[in-house]
């Protein structure tokens, strides 16, 4: 199997080491599998919805369609829909259509049902392969640029593990700018108003996904980079297809710390 090496940069963008990447980063590019894995995650996150089972069905609308039932609608030259009776005089009734789907205030013919299972299944091996494929795509410069990210000439490279100790947001922004991601930070800073009804439902603004920083474990960087627009920080063991390929589009600009890459190989993650 061919081997792949990556340079390690410190916060001044100086080369501090060169490490060999684990076999997980050599996975074949499978955008179809990545898309399925992302859709499986998104479907599991959907909130179930449906109508009240009794909606439009709370009326007493027992109506006979038989010939000789005096309370029936047969012989009056009217459609045989369910009707509720308001008053009557002999065999003549004051009624109005109810209950049936085509009547005012009636039930829906086929309403959404809360018990419907919206979750899509994905095999464990397929999910792991999708994650490995998305990991490999983050280190292919052409795929990352095609996704729209503004990356430096030296990309891909790894970060020195000392960067995991950054505990101030302004320090994180400075380091990312010094590493050549200034344009990328500006790109994810732009906030646009969403088209459509989503803007009325707590999703008024849209912002482009920026850099993904992958760390080895619990560290100060998880909190300090939280407020940088567009930037996500995640522990390597918590990686999933949606973080690596938001919107099911592979090739997110990712910065892996040296410790995180070592953990992938040592702990045999996603194998």
pLDDT value at residue 54: 92
Do 218 and 86 share a structural domain? no
Contacts of 138 (CB under 8 A, 6+ apart): 144, 156, 212, 244, 251, 252, 253, 254
Range of the domain at 195: 5-46+123-266
**23 and 85 fall within a common domain:** no
**Nearest to residue 270, comparing CAs of 237, 231, 245?**
237
What pLDDT is attached to residue 224?
94
Residue 184 has pLDDT above 80, yes or no: yes
pTM: 0.85
Q: Are residues 73 and 199 in the same domain?
A: no
The pLDDT of residue 92: 85
Could you give the number of structural domains in the chain? 2
* CATH classification of the domain holding 237: 3.40.1370.10
Mean pLDDT of 88-105: 89
CA nearest to 70, candidates 90, 97, 99? 90
The tokens for 156 are: 């891909």
For residues 162 and 77, give the distance between their C-alpha atoms in angstroms, rounded to a whole number.
86
pLDDT at 2: 67
Whether residue 230 is found in the same domain as residue 167 = yes
- pLDDT tens per residue across span 143-162: 999 999 999 999 999 999 99
**Is residue 204 assigned to a domain?**
yes
Grade residue 3 by pLDDT with cuts at 50, 70 and 90: confident
What pLDDT score does 71 carry?
81
Examine the domain organization and report whether 71 and 132 are in the same domain.
no
Q: Which of 85, 117, 149 is the last residue of a domain?
A: 117
pLDDT score for 50? 94
Q: Are residues 81 and 193 in the same domain?
A: no
* C-alpha separations of 229 from 6, 186, 189, 216, 247 in Å: 27, 9, 6, 22, 17
Can you give the pLDDT at residue 270?
Answer: 96
The mean per-residue pLDDT over the stretch 109-114 comes to 94
Supply the pLDDT for residue 70: 81
Confidence (pLDDT) at 16: 87
**Domain presence at residue 61:** yes
- Is the model's pLDDT at 187 over the cut of 90? yes
Q: Kindly give the residue spans of alpha helices, DSSP state H, lying in the chain.
A: 31-45, 124-137, 141-146, 169-176, 182-187, 221-224, 241-244, 258-266
Residues 251 and 136 grouped into a single domain: yes
């Amino acid at each position: 199997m061919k081997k792949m090496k990556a340079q390690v940069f410190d916060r001044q963008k100086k080369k501090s080491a060169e490490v060999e990447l684990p076999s997980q980063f050599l996975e074949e590019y499978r955008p179809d599998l990545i898309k399925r894995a992302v859709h499986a995650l998104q479907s599991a996150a959907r909130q179930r919805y449906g109508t009240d089972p009794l909606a439009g069905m709370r009326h007493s609308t027992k109506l006979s369609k038989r010939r000789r039932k005096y309370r029936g609608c047969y012989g009056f030259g009217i459609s045989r829909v369910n009707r509720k009776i308001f008053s009557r005089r002999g065999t003549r009734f004051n009624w109005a259509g109810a209950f049936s789907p085509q009547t005012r205030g009636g039930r829906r013919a086929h309403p959404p049902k809360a018990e419907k299972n919206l979750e899509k299944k994905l095999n464990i091996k397929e999910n792991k392969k999708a994650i490995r494929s998305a990991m490999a795509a983050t280190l292919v410069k052409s795929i990352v640029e095609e996704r729209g990210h503004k990356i430096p000439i030296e990309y891909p490279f790894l970060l020195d593990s000392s960067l995991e100790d950054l505990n101030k947001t302004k320090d994180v922004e400075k380091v990312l700018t010094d590493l050549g991601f200034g344009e990328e930070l500006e790109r994810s800073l732009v906030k646009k108003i969403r088209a459509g009804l989503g803007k009325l439902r707590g999703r008024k603004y849209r912002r482009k996904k920026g850099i993904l920083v992958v760390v080895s474990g619990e560290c100060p960087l998880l909190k300090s980079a939280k407020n940088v627009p567009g930037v996500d920080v995640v522990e390597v063991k918590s990686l999933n297809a949606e973080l690596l390929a938001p919107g099911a589009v592979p090739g997110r600009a990712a910065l892996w710390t040296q410790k995180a890459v070592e953990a992938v190989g040592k702990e045999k993650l996603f194998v």
